[in-house]
């Protein structure tokens, strides 16, 4: 299933500044110095006539002070600015406004940008839609991208379909259930069926661009996609939060590969995390027969070996593998929701619609007894002041 969508967000950095300026002008116009009641103008001869009157002299002094105060705040001097300008805030503003002189991409025309094909294995769980939502918000900032979503299931996931219905991205959904013989293993080669299905779809479609194995619970800086976009064969970069070493990366010296900094070696030729490399699609197709092996812990190494590349074929990105643009994060496991929401007390409320958007556990797994459930429902419908 393939669908195209578009989405754009337009912002104006000037809006806040305009509003602030108008508020300042308004405050100046309503200052006591400019109000009719506070400014009383007297003719000169009248002032001279009543110069001995203390009340008149006091009024003149107060008026002069108020006018001076208004002028100083309307046209602040450098000495006043030193008191009102926060140096830390000024530094933050300058940093946020600074622009990188180097263009993100060699071309400006989106039609000339190589397409990126992220392949994302996923499966039904309580945090699935939350993970995919966070990931989709990142992908919406990346031009020329086609998301290949591969779900480990024999039947379409209802919640996933609702998510894709509102997705404003080009995507392809493929159902990729893991074969039973691998599902019975103690250490399952998770995601291999999904990734191989994505490779087959790209090969059969004879696509041009770059493919990237993108897990649904990782965290991605959009710069990683621009780094990989111009991959000729295979590109690599560091990945944060991998094993107890906290990072997985090629070890480089003067641009030459010396080894691999990774906590999981086991004689891997390419000891790198799944999120740390991308492949040119046409290069993969020309090699032919490239698949990810169903071998726990050796998925990345087996795939890269199948590409028949040498160390000299690798394109090192992220400023010589000195920057981290992707992190191997994991969403904390959340249990399924209580089936209490199906109670008839909630009929006719918004909960009946919310029920269709959450995953529920069975009654057998619901550990709260019926008496406590009844008390809880009663409390929920009690409005306390």
Partners of 219 in beta bridges: 327
Q: Give the helix/strand (H/E) hosting 79.
A: helix 78-84
Residue 223: pLDDT above 70?
yes
Residue 42: pLDDT above 60?
no
Per-domain residue ranges of the chain: 111-327, 344-382
More confident residue, 16 or 263: 263
Residue 113: pLDDT above 90?
yes
**Which pLDDT band holds residue 202 (cuts at 50, 70, 90)?**
very high
- Token pair for 163: 């998510």
**Cα–Cα distance for residue pair 272/326, rounded to 1 Å:** 13
With b for 16 or more beta-carbon neighbours within 10 A and e for fewer, the 294-332 pattern comes to beeebbbbbbbebbebeeeebbbbbeebeebbbbbeeee
Residue 44: pLDDT above 50?
no
CB atoms within 10 A of CB 228: 26
Give the active site residue among 300, 315, 373, 379: 300
More confident residue, 330 or 28: 330
Hey, CA dihedral for 80, 86, 91, 93, is it positive or negative?
negative
Mean pLDDT of all residues in 226-237: 97
pLDDT tens-digit map of 54-91: 777 788 888 888 877 666 654 444 333 333 333 444 34
- The reported pLDDT for the residue numbered 169 is 95
Mean pLDDT of all residues in 356-371: 68
- Could you list the residues known to form a binding site for Mn(2+), using ranges: 217
CA–CA–CA angle 190, 193, 197 (5° rounding)? 145
Contacts of 120 (CB under 8 A, 6+ apart): 132, 135, 147, 148, 149, 150, 194, 214, 215, 216
Residue whose C-alpha is closest to residue 214's, from 139, 155, 159, 288 = 139
Residue 47: pLDDT above 70?
no
- The answer to whether the predicted template modeling score (pTM) of the entire model surpasses 0.85 is no
Instruction: Name the class of domain 111-327.
Output: alpha beta
pLDDT tens-digit map of 101-110: 444 445 557 7
More confident residue, 226 or 95: 226
- The reported pLDDT for the residue numbered 195 is 96
**Which pLDDT band holds residue 309 (cuts at 50, 70, 90)?**
very high
- The reported pLDDT for the residue numbered 6 is 41
Q: What is the residue-averaged pLDDT of the chain? A: 77
* For the chain, percent of residues with pLDDT exceeding 70: 70
What are the strands, taking DSSP E only, across the chain? 2-3, 116-122, 146-151, 170-175, 210-213, 219-220, 234-236, 239-240, 247-253, 256-261, 277-280, 314-316, 326-327
- Could you list the residues known to form a binding site, using ranges: 217
299 is catalytic: no
- The reported pLDDT for the residue numbered 370 is 78
pLDDT tens-digit map of 8-38: 333 333 233 323 222 222 232 333 333 443 4
pLDDT tens-digit map of 163-200: 999 999 999 999 999 998 888 888 888 899 999 999 99
**Cα–Cα distance for residue pair 317/320, rounded to 1 Å:** 6
Residue 50: pLDDT above 70?
no
Hey, CA dihedral for 225, 226, 232, 235, is it positive or negative?
negative
């Amino acid at each position: 299933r393939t669908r195209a969508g578009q989405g754009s967000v337009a912002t104006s950095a000037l809006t806040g500044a305009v509003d602030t300026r108008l508020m300042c002008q308004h405050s100046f116009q309503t200052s006591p110095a400019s109000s009719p009641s506070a400014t009383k103008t007297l003719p000169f001869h009248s002032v001279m006539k009543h110069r001995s009157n203390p009340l008149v002299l006091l009024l003149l002094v107060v008026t002069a002070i108020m006018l001076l105060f208004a002028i100083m705040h309307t046209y602040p001097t450098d000495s006043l600015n030193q008191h009102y300008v926060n140096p830390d805030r000024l530094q933050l503003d300058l940093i946020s406004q600074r622009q990188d002189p180097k263009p993100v991409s060699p071309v400006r025309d989106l039609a000339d940008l190589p397409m990126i094909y992220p392949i994302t294995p996923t499966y039904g769980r309580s945090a699935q839609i939350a993970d995919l939502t966070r990931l989709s918000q990142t992908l919406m900032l990346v031009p020329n991208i086609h998301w290949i979503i591969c779900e480990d299931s024999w039947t379409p996931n209802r919640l996933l379909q609702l998510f894709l219905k509102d997705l404003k991205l080009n995507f392809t959904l493929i159902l990729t259930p893991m074969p039973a013989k691998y599902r019975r293993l103690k250490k399952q080669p998770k995601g291999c069926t999904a990734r191989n299905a994505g490779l087959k779809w790209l090969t059969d479609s004879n696509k041009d661009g770059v493919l990237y194995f993108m897990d649904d619970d990782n965290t991605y800086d959009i710069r990683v996609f621009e780094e990989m976009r111009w991959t000729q064969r295979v590109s690599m970069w560091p990945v944060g939060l991998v094993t107890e070493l906290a990072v997985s990366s090629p070890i480089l010296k003067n641009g030459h590969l010396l080894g691999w900094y990774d906590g999981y070696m086991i004689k891997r030729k390419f000891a790198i995390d799944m999120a740390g490399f991308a492949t040119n699609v046409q290069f993969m197709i020309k090699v032919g027969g490239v698949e990810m092996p169903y071998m726990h812990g050796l998925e990345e190494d087996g795939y890269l070996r199948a590409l028949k590349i040498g160390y000299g074929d690798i394109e090192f990105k992220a400023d010589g593998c000195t920057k981290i643009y992707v992190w191997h994060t994991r969403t904390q496991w959340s249990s399924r929701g209580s089936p209490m929401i199906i109670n008839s007390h909630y009929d006719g409320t918004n909960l009946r619609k919310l029920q269709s958007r959450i995953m529920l556990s069975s009654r057998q797994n619901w550990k709260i007894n019926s008496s406590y459930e009844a008390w809880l429902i009663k409390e929920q419908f009690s409005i306390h002041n």
